[in-house]
Amino acid sequence: MANAYSIARPLKLDIVIPTYNRAELLKKALASLLLADRPEYLALSIYVVDNNSKDNTREVIKSFGGIVYYIFETNQGRSHALNAGISAGRGDIVGFIDDDEEVREDWLRVIAEWMAKPEVDFLGGPYLGYTDVSLPRWFPESYCGVIGITPAGNFPREFANDGGPMLLGGNSVIRRSTLLAVGAYNVNLGRTHKALLSCEDEELFLRLLDAGARGYYLPNLAIFHLVPKNRLSKSYFRHWCFWHGVSKCTLAGLRSESSKKLFGVPRYLFGRCLREIPNLFTLQVEPKAFEAELGWWDLAGWLYGAHLIRRAQNRRSIPIQEPEAAQ
């Protein structure tokens, strides 16, 4: 089927990589893409979006040449950078990875095989983390997502809003026509140089499902994500959970969620934290105690978001600009 499809219409894939002051890691990300196994019928372009880096990011990107294009985005923030990369390309399909990732050698071939099926609108896969140090004793396994480790099963399954796998922006593929229909990333969400905001991926994922787009989680569409030593600290986990709460609050406002609230926060979060109070003092099982503490940081972020951060104007869809020539 793939060969028949390739004769009729080759696939054109754009890969977008937002980057900020990670030139050395970016080299590995680009090398992994260029070394990956690619079918002949898959045309590839890579758009690296420099989001005001102060290191030698520009020189690194330019040194690759060929199908690697340099884009500069002055508006600070991951969502701004992603949208700039989307607008720069012209491919039928848009893929996304982060600058601290490396794709598995068959990543491009998996994309080609699945996106050759016209009924497939988007794809996602797992983050497989790696680090040079051991995980600390206090590490709570239920918070693997904080450090970018997101296994979600060993079998393909269709995405749904059912608490199962979610489309993650650092390992996702979306048909361009689908992006044009639902809109790109919401710039009210996403990491910036000042805050660990998140949920831009979840917000786009929910809009895809709302629009009736069909997507699949594929365990073999895998990337390897670096977990740096500085993220294996309690302070980073606390910081991440606080801003995750702010982000979830902002997302709830954007989607006009109507769950029962107390002080602008879903009531179930208060109940969850109160039930976890005994575990705060379970020092003999440190991961359980720290997990309980992180729930309170998440609640604090929700409260902060509800009363100080939430935007007055909801923006559900960010239009994609017409493509511009790559620099």
Q: pLDDT (tens digit, 9 = 90+) per residue, 185-227?
A: 988 887 776 667 777 888 999 999 999 999 999 999 999 988 8
CATH number of the CATH domain containing 71: 3.90.550.10
Task: Return the closest-CA partner of residue 166 out of 181, 150, 179, 182.
Answer: 150
Cβ neighbors of 301 (< 8 A, separation 6 or more) are 241, 242, 243, 244, 245, 246, 247, 248, 249
Last residue of a domain, one of 205, 231, 257: 231
63 and 212 within one domain: yes
pLDDT for position 154: 79
Rg (the chain; Cα; Å):
20
Rounded CA-CA distance 71/46 in Å is 10
Q: Which two tokens stand for residue 175?
A: 């048909």
271 and 173 within one domain: no
Rounded CA-CA distance 18/31 in Å is 16
- The answer to whether residue 318 sits within a structural domain is no
Please return the burial class of 187, using the count of CB atoms within 10 Å of its CB with bins 0-12, 13-18 and 19+.
middle
119 and 153 within one domain: yes
150 and 45 within one domain: yes
279 and 169 within one domain: no
269 and 166 within one domain: no
- What pTM, to 2 d.p., does this model score? 0.82
| Domain total in the chain | 2
- The answer to whether residue 320 sits within a structural domain is no
Residues in the chain: 327
190 and 119 within one domain: yes
243 and 203 within one domain: no
E strand or H helix that includes residue 151: none
Q: Write out pLDDT tens, residues 107-131.
A: 999 999 999 999 999 999 998 877 7
166 and 58 within one domain: yes
- The answer to whether residue 69 sits within a structural domain is yes
Across the beta sheet with 122-124, the strand order is 68-72, 42-50, 11-19, 93-97, 171-175, 122-124, 215-217, 157-158
Domain that residue 279 falls in:
234-309
91 and 193 within one domain: yes
